[in-house]
């Protein structure tokens, strides 16, 4: 199977590594600049942090996608805020099947912009984190997989078979759902409070207080209630019930948040991305505020936590300064 991974950040690199475990796949990555040169010269080097091992894969690269280039499957691993710039390029390409991977609050709009049959566009979220160094990717995971499905409907049997075939022989778990637009919006209910906490602590989650950790989960519960008021499908068992105070699910989430704040896993899985992707987080925050505007649900914990972070302008300036 000829597969293109469009984007060579942490998510795209881990995904390409998994796809290359299927020796029947011919995998190509779209990368640019010095990182493309690095991939061409040294290969795809990934340090798997939790597993204490390093892998090196040889992978073909391109820096542009021509309209006539054709792949059996295209995984798009760009940040949501970058998609408006690349959607015209993707739309013109003659490949049929596309999977958009990552946090995206506008799955339906992306699907419509691609101007393809509904059963040719999928959305997914990969369970891995980390950061990219000069010469390698540091990937943090305890078992990589993807939650995947159509924007508002299950994948067709043909599409589902194609995705399964791509990962044959790979150590990769696929979870198929029927409404990824709703799933991704629910996912933001936890992602954004965690992001606010990172910014409030200047990226050092070990500084988070017990009160702040509680606010993260209280805010996530409020967000689920707000989404329901906005007529967004919410799986209570997987979301609301995990954040409601006093429930067994909440106690498990309390333990998880504590572990993320007190161990290096939190830096690799949460704060590394939040601190290096301020523009993406602001894009997601603005999209979520747009959903809130459709309801009258009060979100006191959400607002309290959000007010503790610096302004988005300050965060962007800090990021720009750190890159210099």
**pTM as predicted:** 0.94
Instruction: Read off the pLDDT of each residue in 108-116 and give the average, rounded to a whole number.
Output: 95
**Range scoring the smallest mean pLDDT among 4-18, 168-182, 222-236, 265-279:** 265-279
Instruction: Read off the pLDDT of each residue in 15-30 and give the average, rounded to a whole number.
Output: 97
Enumerate domains of the chain plus CATH numbers.
2-178 (3.40.50.720), 182-323 (1.10.1040)
pLDDT (tens digit, 9 = 90+) per residue, 128-151?
A: 888 899 899 999 887 899 999 999
pLDDT at 324 over 60: no
Give the pLDDT of residue 62: 98
Give the start-end residues of each E strand in the chain: 2-6, 26-30, 44-48, 53-57, 60-62, 73-76, 98-101, 121-126, 129-132, 137-140, 145-149, 173-176
Instruction: Read off the pLDDT of each residue in 26-41 and give the average, rounded to a whole number.
Output: 97
Among residues 56, 87, 93, which one has the least CA distance to residue 73?
93
Among residues 316, 218, 183, 203, which one has the least CA distance to residue 270?
203
Instruction: Read off the pLDDT of each residue in 107-117 and give the average, rounded to a whole number.
Output: 94
Percent of the chain at pLDDT exceeding 70: 99
Percent of the chain at pLDDT exceeding 90: 87
pLDDT (tens digit, 9 = 90+) per residue, 85-104?
A: 999 999 999 999 999 999 99
Q: How far is CA 22 from CA 147, 162, 181, 195, in A?
A: 19, 13, 29, 35
pLDDT (tens digit, 9 = 90+) per residue, 274-307?
A: 898 899 999 999 999 999 999 999 999 999 999 9
pLDDT at 318 over 90: no
Higher pLDDT pick, 176 / 267 = 176
Question: With bands split at pLDDT 50, 70 and 90, how would you rate the model's confidence at 322?
Answer: low
Adjacent-strand bridge partners of 175: 147
Q: How many residues does the chain have?
A: 324
**Range scoring the smallest mean pLDDT among 43-47, 200-204, 262-266, 311-315:** 262-266
How far is the C-alpha of 289 from the C-alpha of 293, rounded, in Å? 6
Calculate the average pLDDT of the chain.
94
Give the pLDDT of residue 316: 87
Question: With bands split at pLDDT 50, 70 and 90, how would you rate the model's confidence at 320?
Answer: confident
pLDDT at 323 over 70: no
If one counts every other C-beta atom within 10 angstroms of the C-beta of residue 248, the result is 9
């Amino acid at each position: 199977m000829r597969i293109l991974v469009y984007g060579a950040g942490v998510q795209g690199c881990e995904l390409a590594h998994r796809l290359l475990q299927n020796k029947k796949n011919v995998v190509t990555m779209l990368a640019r600049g010095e990182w493309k040169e690095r991939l061409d010269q040294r290969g795809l080097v990934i340090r798997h942090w939790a597993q204490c091992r390093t892998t090196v894969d040889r992978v073909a690269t391109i820096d542009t996608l021509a309209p006539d280039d054709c792949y059996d499957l295209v995984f798009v691993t760009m940040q949501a805020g970058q998609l408006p710039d690349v959607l015209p390029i993707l739309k013109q390409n003659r490949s049929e099947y596309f999977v958009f991977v990552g946090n995206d609050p506008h799955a339906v709009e992306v699907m419509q912009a691609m101007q393809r049959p509904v059963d040719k566009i999928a959305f997914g979220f990969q369970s891995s984190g980390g950061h990219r160094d000069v010469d390698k990717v540091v990937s943090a995971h305890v078992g990589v997989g993807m939650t995947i499905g159509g924007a508002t409907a299950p994948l067709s049997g043909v599409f589902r078979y194609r995705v399964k075939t791509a990962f044959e022989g790979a150590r990769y778990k696929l979870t198929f759902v029927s409404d990824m637009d709703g799933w991704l919006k629910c996912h933001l209910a936890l992602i954004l409070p965690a992001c606010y906490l990172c910014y409030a602590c200047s990226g050092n989650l070990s500084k988070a207080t017990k009160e702040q950790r509680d606010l993260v989960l209280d805010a996530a519960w409020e967000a689920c209630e707000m989404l329901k008021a906005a007529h967004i499908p919410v799986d209570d068992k997987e979301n609301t019930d995990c954040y409601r105070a006093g429930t067994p699910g909440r106690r498990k989430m309390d333990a998880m948040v504590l572990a993320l704040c007190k161990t290096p896993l939190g830096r690799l899985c949460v704060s590394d991305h939040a601190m290096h992707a301020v523009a993406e987080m602001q894009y997601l925050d603005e999209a979520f505020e747009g959903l809130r505007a459709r309801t009258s649900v009060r979100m006191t914990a959400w607002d309290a936590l959000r007010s503790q972070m610096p302004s988005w302008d300050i965060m962007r300036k800090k990021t720009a300064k750190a890159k210099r």
